[in-house]
Structure 1
Amino acid sequence: MTELTQVHHGADLAAEVWRADDYAVKWSTGGTTAAPETTSYLAEAGVRGVPAPVRTTTGHLWSDRDGKRLSLTPWIPGARAAETGLTTAQWTQYGALLAEVHSQEVPARLKALLPPLNPINARMPALARELAQRFATQTPADDLEAELATTWLAHQTAIDALVERAAQLPVPGPRVICHADPHLGNVLVTPTQLYLIDWDDAVLAPIEQDLLFMLGGMGSLGPATPQDQEAFFTGYGPTALDPTRLTYYRSARALEDTTLWAEQALTGPNREDCLEILQGVLGPDGLVVQALS
């Protein structure tokens, strides 16, 4: 009999993950069905750092169980890069891995499946306005909400600027397969290989969608020093980033982090941790300042 061990990583409340011997089992409503199709394609194309989903007995990449997608991938016995950090050589390896993903030709079936924008971003402006209204007009339910409201309202001008910028769609550009959330929390480190996991938010977008994570403001989830950043781009290769597209994607991500961490600080779980993360996102070295600079 196979024993299931629940794994607790990341902030995705729409997914549950277990380890079952040599496999990772994921039960999720997050993202789109493009995720397993994308990882299967990339693995078949020879991208070693992307684990391929295991097909079902009927040949499918997932099965529908109680309204959620149940999928299976090989268990990667590695450590999270967000916890261990990356060496200079590993940063270069990670740059090469992401460049390999971006360089893949996109087949017609994936072009039809992959969304052009992260679906999460579409609901962020309305949620940000809802939270602003609550914090400005309602009596806090407890001390933590009071601190949360104070934190949010102190940065209301910056948050309003993010909402405005996120409403301005990016200048069209060459579109590639993007992970859309390639921070170090989604990177596993083994002695011989780095793996990029959790492709639920995969999109067909310009490279700026992914490379924003390598340009500062992500704390321990991105390059910690200019040397780390240089090592990443040594592996990725020369590239010219479009400033307009970069502004859009960084603003959209900063708004997402601000709004979703604030919402979870209200509703739980781990409310105290969520408030602390939000304060970091809004802090002087956080992503909001980076996005608006």
Structure 2
Amino acid sequence: MRERPDGLSDDDVIRGLADGWNLRPRELEFLPVGAGGYHWAVDDEGGERWFATVDVRADLPTLRQALGTATALRKAGLTFVLAPVPDRDGDAARPLSAQHALSVYPLVPGTAGDFGPHAESERNDVLNLLIDLHRTDPPSIALRTDLRLPGREDLETALSALDAPWTGGPYGEPAREILSRHAARITTWLHEFDELAASVAPTTEWVVTHGEPHPGNVLRTPDGPLLIDWDTARVAPPERDLWMLTSAMIGAPPAPDDSLLKTYGHRTGRSVSRPAIAFYRRWWILADLAIYTAELRHPHTATPDRADSLRYLTACLQ
């Protein structure tokens, strides 16, 4: 997120840090990084450094449960989990306004990657983290996922409204033209999604998953890799994480995955479902399409973030 959040100032963040964590920042630096949240580096008067994240939230209890899952996993001994610091009330996130929620993390020196496939040299490291995660009993606070597509109703409504101009903002018409060219393919993908979902029936074999263990959420540190950004943590089929390590990952070259999946199966005692791998790849693409379509069909202005939305929408369909 390259732009600052609407309706929120640095002073609001400073007040939230003081009210929730008794922090007294002497320096606050906005970091135009990541996706889905807004971030600041915080130098506290006590000499400690923190990483503050603001989510534009739809559901604070859900965010608290997801981030609280990370805190519970860290307490259970998973030291690779970079978990938020609970606020004074013991919550993993705190409201700043009707739209914004704040969470605080230790500022750990390291380097994260970018969204895309993992390098071959790093894939086994991430596989080891996921094996340890999936072998851990899900914390009682953890949410259970479902197999529905978020934003599906809005996406289908948009597909049915391609004959009239989209006048909500400067990127509306380019988005409509792109979707018009690919509408039949998107409809086919939705049918395939439903068929794959039927094969991924809920079972008691679901595990606690991170949800997005791509390179952008792996922080490489001198002490080893950490998994960051746990707002997507859910109890789910293990393939929800594993597909990002396979050739099904967006941008990954075709390659055999047998060795990796056999290693996972041998160490966890769980077999990996190829249809579930395919399901989560399809889920990811369609969920992104739904997000970017909604952003560009509804009222918006010409900003770098909305320009990125148009670019990502196009990339989903290439």
Contact 2:64–2:91 under 8 Å retained in 1: no
Measure the CA separation in 2 of the matches of 1:34 and 1:83: 25
Q: Percent identity?
A: 23
Contact 1:43–1:52 under 8 Å retained in 2: yes
Measure the CA separation in 2 of the matches of 1:82 and 1:272: 19
Calculate the TM-score normalised by the size of structure 2: 0.73
1:204 Cα shift? Answer: 0.8
Contact 1:162–1:254 under 8 Å retained in 2: no
Deviations 1:3-58 (A, max 9, x none): 1212223331xx32211132111222265322221111111122222112212234
Amino acid at match of 2:306: R
Contact 2:261–2:272 under 8 Å retained in 1: no
* Aligned with residue 64 of structure 1, among 73, 79, 95: 95
Amino acid at match of 1:128: L
Q: Which has the larger radius of gyration?
A: 2
Answering whether residue 207 of structure 2 is matched by residue 207 of structure 1, we say no
Measure the CA separation in 2 of the matches of 1:76 and 1:261: 31
Higher helix proportion: 1
Answering whether residue 181 of structure 2 is matched by residue 154 of structure 1, we say yes
Measure the CA separation in 2 of the matches of 1:23 and 1:219: 32
1:207-226 correspondence runs (5 A) = 207-216=238-247, 218-219=249-250, 223=252, 226=255
Q: Which residue of 1 aligns with 2:5?
A: none
1:153–1:218 Cα change, 3 Å: farther
Contact 1:96–1:235 under 8 Å retained in 2: no
- Structure 2 regions of 5+ residues with no counterpart? 1-24, 44-48
Q: Which residue of 2 aligns with 1:136?
A: 163
Deviates more, 1:95-104 or 1:70-79: 70-79
Measure the CA separation in 2 of the matches of 1:183 and 1:231: 19
Q: Which residue of 1 aligns with 2:130?
A: 98
Contact 1:94–1:232 under 8 Å retained in 2: no
Deviations 1:77-133 (A, max 9, x none): 2222117985544221111111111110124x23xx413227xx5542211112213
1:162-173 correspondence runs (5 A) = 162-167=189-194, 168-169=197-198, 170-173=200-203
Amino acid at match of 1:20: V
Measure the CA separation in 2 of the matches of 1:8 and 1:233: 36
Measure the CA separation in 2 of the matches of 1:276 and 1:95: 31
Contact 1:93–1:232 under 8 Å retained in 2: no
Q: Which residue of 1 aligns with 2:31?
A: 7
* Aligned with residue 32 of structure 1, among 39, 50, 63: 63
Query: What is the aligned residue count?
Result: 273
* Aligned with residue 307 of structure 2, among 269, 272, 289: 272
SS of match in other structure, 1:181: coil
Calculate the TM-score normalised by the size of structure 1: 0.79
1:130–1:237 Cα change, 3 Å: same
Measure the CA separation in 2 of the matches of 1:175 and 1:85: 24
Answering whether residue 209 of structure 2 is matched by residue 178 of structure 1, we say yes
Deviations 1:163-191 (A, max 9, x none): 33444453123111111222222222223
Measure the CA separation in 2 of the matches of 1:43 and 1:74: 13
Measure the CA separation in 2 of the matches of 1:125 and 1:242: 24
Amino acid at match of 1:158: R
Measure the CA separation in 2 of the matches of 1:191 and 1:226: 30
Amino acid at match of 1:69: A
Amino acid at match of 2:125: Q
Kindly report the root-mean-square deviation, in angstroms, between the aligned alpha carbons of the 2 structures: 3.1
